[in-house]
């Protein structure tokens, strides 16, 4: 099978560039959205909220039609240089079959920031349009509250402005991964919430993952449900040809259950390379991780990203 290809990341932002904040999934707390927008303005950017960014309709941020409208408006507007989602939650999946992918393919990539549930949109932008994106703290659940710490904010800022597009904290402290069964590897980084990856199985929106470095994390899923997801992924054969797994953190309530998930991964995928220790997931000290860029894990455990 053909190995997956890297996408193109949007150009670094300059002072005065316009960021559009949208809510394509769950509803966000307006005060947190506004606080996150204020923070982005302190970084020197113009920031506008989508027309329906503050809507709420049950567990959605407004109707499908309105969430789709904001997403399309942000993607199609040439003046918008970056799109940052307000939060994850649930709802991105419902937009996938409504988007005019042929029209989006004609656009130049712009920076798109999502996380968790938004990963479904990011995966589709990569496979259908060749866009790489940033799996990173969001406007409300991140920049607007206490969901991330200052180094995590700075790391996102560095990816936006191009100062430190690496997977090291602020260009100084080097992140070292621990290899469980293979010292080095390379592939295309695909950071995804495990439950979102599983939900895409059997749909046109899960592409070939051949050669992908699957960066996995999740929150609120008990170990037995994660084992069930891994059983499905194993028996659907969608991960047969991946380059390996990179572990972020799996969190359940106040506890981390990453070690239990590693045991399940090794049970279902005993021959796949596994690396652990990436500061990525639903916790405050997390790195911004690009989705769709080529990367290499060195024998010393350093994760290096190619920006070409």
* Residues with a known catalytic role: 116, 217, 282
The alpha carbon of residue 285 and the mean position of all alpha carbons in its chain are separated, in whole angstroms, by 15
For 46, 131, 177, 201, the CA distances from 10, given in Å and listed in that order, are 17, 8, 27, 28
Alpha-carbon gap, residue 275 to 71, rounded angstroms: 34
Q: What are phi and psi of 144, to 5 degrees?
A: -95, -5
Strands (E), 42-184: 46-49, 80-85, 111-114, 133-135, 178-179
Alpha-carbon gap, residue 251 to 259, rounded angstroms: 11
Whether residue 198 contacts residue 294, with contact meaning beta carbons closer than 8 Å, is answered with no
Work out whether the CA dihedral 38, 41, 47, 48 comes out positive or negative.
positive
Q: What are phi and psi of 223, to 5 degrees?
A: -60, -35
Distance between terminal CA atoms of the chain? 23
Q: What is the 3-state secondary structure (H, E, C) of 253-276?
A: CCEECHHHHHHHHHHHCCCCCEEE
């Amino acid at each position: 099978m053909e190995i997956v290809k890297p996408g193109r990341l949007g150009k670094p932002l300059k002072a005065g560039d316009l960021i559009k904040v949208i809510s394509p999934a769950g509803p966000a707390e307006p005060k947190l959205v506004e606080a996150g927008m204020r923070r982005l303005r302190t970084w020197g950017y113009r920031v506008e909220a989508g027309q329906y960014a503050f809507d709420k309709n049950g567990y959605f941020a407004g109707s499908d039609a309105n969430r789709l409208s904001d997403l399309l408006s942000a993607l199609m507007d040439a003046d918008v240089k970056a799109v940052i989602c307000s939060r994850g939650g649930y709802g991105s999946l419902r937009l996938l079959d409504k988007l005019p992918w042929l029209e989006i393919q004609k656009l130049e990539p712009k920076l798109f920031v999502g996380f968790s549930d938004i990963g479904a949109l990011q995966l589709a932008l990569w496979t259908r349009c060749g866009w790489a994106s940033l799996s990173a703290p969001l406007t409300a659940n991140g920049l607007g509250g206490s969901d991330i710490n200052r180094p995590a904010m700075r790391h996102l800022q560095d990816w936006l402005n191009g100062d430190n597009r690496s997977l090291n904290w602020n260009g100084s402290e080097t992140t070292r991964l621990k290899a469980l069964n293979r010292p080095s590897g390379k592939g295309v980084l695909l950071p995804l919430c495990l439950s979102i990856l599983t939900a895409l199985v059997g749909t046109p929106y899960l592409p070939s993952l051949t050669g992908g470095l699957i960066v996995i994390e999740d929150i609120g899923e008990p170990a037995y449900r994660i084992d069930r997801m891994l059983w499905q992924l194993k028996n659907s054969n969608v991960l047969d040809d991946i380059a390996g797994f990179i572990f972020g953190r799996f969190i359940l309530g106040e506890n981390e259950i990453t070690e239990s998930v590693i045991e399940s991964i090794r049970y279902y995928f005993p021959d796949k390379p596994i690396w652990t220790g990436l500061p990525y997931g639903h916790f405050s000290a997390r790195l911004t991780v690009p989705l769709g860029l080529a990367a290499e894990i060195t024998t010393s455990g350093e994760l290096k990203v190619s920006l070409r």
